[in-house]
Structure 1
Amino acid sequence: MKLNLDKPICFFDLETTGTNIATDRIVEISILKVFPNGNKESHTWKVNPEMPIPPVVSAIHGITDEMVANEPTFKELAPKVYSLIKDSDLGGFNSNRFDIPLLAEELLRAGVDFEMKNTLSIDVQTIFHKMEKRTLEAAYKFYCNKDLTNAHSAEADTMATFEVLEAQIERYDALENNTKYLAQFSSHKKFADFAGFIGFDKQGNEVFAFGKHRGSKVEDILENEPGYFGWLLNADFPLYTKKILTAIKLRKLNNKLD
């Protein structure tokens, strides 16, 4: 079944140096841009992460230091990547919890002011787990009756993810064929940041989701404990989390001035 789109959607997959959103880097990125008229545009780049790739990670995705030594850095690729995704919704496999947060970090690190305010994100893994609870390889076999022979290649995983979503829509009558519904269905608990450090209370206020101030309103803590804000900005938190914290603090200040 053809995916019903209101605007383009970019399915993408990252291969990385590890799983730490704040400190690990991209070594390969593949983007499949699907347009409402059904046209597709695909791009895959190897990326020099400017740091060693641990051998245990290379054993998983097959990308070594030597393979990326002469490839562009993500900062060099960032304008091309952002140009592809800036007008699109996003889709991926475990993308809400890993790929989108890590991509946001890399874009911010490259000086690109990445935002998700007007972007929907569809996590195909979440739909799969809610319906079948398996892996991408099993999903590809189950929904598409194909073997994913090149798993952990960003390009193969990206193409498989797109095909699985189309097959999921075909299989499940309960799934509506529109990106807003699919984004809501595939979302987890809502957070203000990607990494899950800032949540929301029942009134929609940002609250800390960790540490000694868990459950407390962020704007109250930042106002009453300015030293805590300084500590957060200097600690090893993701750049996007720091961006959200700064925006909350500035919003509170602007409200006072008004």
Structure 2
Amino acid sequence: MAWHRELLIGFDLETTGTDVEADRIVTAAVVALEPDGTVSSERTWLLDPGVAIPAQASAIHGISTDHARRHGLPAASSVEDIAEAVAEVLRSGTPLVVMNARYDLSLLDRECRRYGLRSITERLGTAPAPVVDPLVIDKHVDKYRKGKRALHALCAHYGVTLEEAHDARADAVAAVRVVRSMGERHRPVGAMSLTDLHALQIRAAAAQSASLQAYLRRTNPTAVVESAWPVIPRSR
């Protein structure tokens, strides 16, 4: 059976910002969706990130610094739980669906380093795979479509209902439903093996970054856009 008609597991983070090197996890979700679309298991986390949550981030995901400090779990133990939950999915060979995986998986990697924990790569003995990233796939299969490519925009384009946007659980579920719709609509992608699909996304993400970098260098000759996917290598 095609990969998008099998069990898929969505992963999402809500965070303190958009810098993978400096920002922290606030909420996380790992949600399993069966082939019929039902949620068969889920794990969610609310963390006390140990730093103030900027007002701009709170406005997006609705978690204030005070709420996280009052109700959040300790960050170090939670990051360990999240990392092991993600590694367990990948050890099983089940596809991990992550919208903009380059961000979420890289930030989780940096959180592991922050607390002296083993990264996903270290737990697996190899880079995270198989990962399915609706952002990378959509840009590959529909390169010239105008408009936004954020999760809410992909949901609208692929006919998926997004409830409670920027809630980690809701976003994880929506991302899975989007890639299922992609697999049906774009049959060559849906017919790929997971190994080939993962390799395609590595190449596609690099090409997309190179294109954006070339565009930015029209006005900023030193602009650099990260090409690695699904995890940005750590700087030394």
TM-score normalised per structure 2: 0.71
Cα 1:151/1:126, change in 2 over 3 Å: same
SS at match of 2:20: coil
Conserved? CA contact 2:9–2:89, under 8 Å: yes
Q: CA deviation at 1:35?
A: 7.9
Counterpart of 2:140 (choices 118, 122, 130) is 130
Match among 85, 94, 97 for residue 100 of structure 2: 94
Please list the CA deviations of residues 155-201 of structure 1 after superposition, one character each: whole Å capped at 9, or x if unmatched: 111100011111111111111343222222323229xxxxxxxxxxx
Instruction: Indicate how the Cα distance of structure 1 residues 147 and 11 shifts in structure 2: closer, same or farther if over 3 A, else same.
Output: closer
Deviation at 1:152, TM superposition (A): 1.1
Q: Deviations over 1:39-63 (max 9, x none)?
A: 8421111111110111111111111
Aligned equivalents of 2:52, 2:132: Cα separation in 1: 31
1:151–1:20: structure 2 CA closer, same or farther, 3 Å change rule?
same
Encode CA deviations 1:110-161: one digit per residue, 9 max, x unaligned: 2222143153122111112223453311221222x24324111111111000
Distance 1:141 1:72, change over 3 A: same
Superposition deviation, residue 94 in structure 1 = 0.6
Q: Judge conservation of contact 1:17–1:53 (CA < 8 Å) in 2.
A: yes
Larger radius of gyration: 1
Q: Which has the higher contact order (CA 8 A, sep 6+)?
A: 2
Report the equivalent of 2:113. 108
1:204-215 to 2 correspondences below 5 Å: none
Matches within 5 A, 1:158-169: 158-169=172-183
SS at match of 2:48: coil
Q: Which runs of 5+ in 1 are unaligned?
A: 191-209, 212-237, 246-258
RMSD of the alignment, in Å? 3.1
- Aligned pair in 2 of structure 1 residues 44, 53: CA closer, same or farther (>3 Å)? same
AA at the equivalent of 1:87: E
Q: SS of 1:47's equivalent?
A: strand
Q: Which residue of 2 aligns with 1:224?
A: none
Q: What is the number of equivalent residue pairs in this alignment?
A: 194
2:198 to 176, 183, 187: 183
**Following TM superposition, by how much is the alpha carbon of 1:82 offset from its aligned partner in structure 2, in angstroms?**
2.8
Post-superposition shift, 1:64? 0.7
Distance 1:27 1:77 in 2: 10
- Is the 2:79–2:112 Cα contact (8 Å) retained in structure 1? yes
TM-score for the superposition, normalised by structure 1: 0.65
List aligned pairs for 1:20-99, cutoff 5 A: 20-33=19-32, 40-70=40-70, 71-89=72-90, 90-95=96-101, 97-99=102-104
Distance 1:52 1:72 in 2: 15
* Structure 1 pair 135–45 and aligned structure 2 pair: CA distance change class (3 A): same
Gaps of 5+ in 2: 91-95, 208-221, 224-230
Q: What SS does structure 2 have at the residue aligned with 1:59? A: helix
- Give the C-alpha shift of residue 92 in structure 1: 0.6
Q: Secondary structure at the residue paired with 1:86? A: helix
Deviation at 1:79, TM superposition (A): 3.2
What is the rounded CA distance, in whole Å, between the counterparts of 1:24 and 1:79 in structure 2? Answer: 17
Closer, same or farther in 2 for the Cα pair 1:65/1:12, shift >3 Å? same
* Separation in structure 1 between the aligned mates of residue 56 and residue 174 of structure 2, nearest angstrom: 24
Q: CA deviation at 1:239?
A: 11
CA distance in structure 2 between the aligned counterparts of 1:239 and 1:125, rounded to whole angstroms: 16
* Identical amino acids, percent of aligned pairs: 26
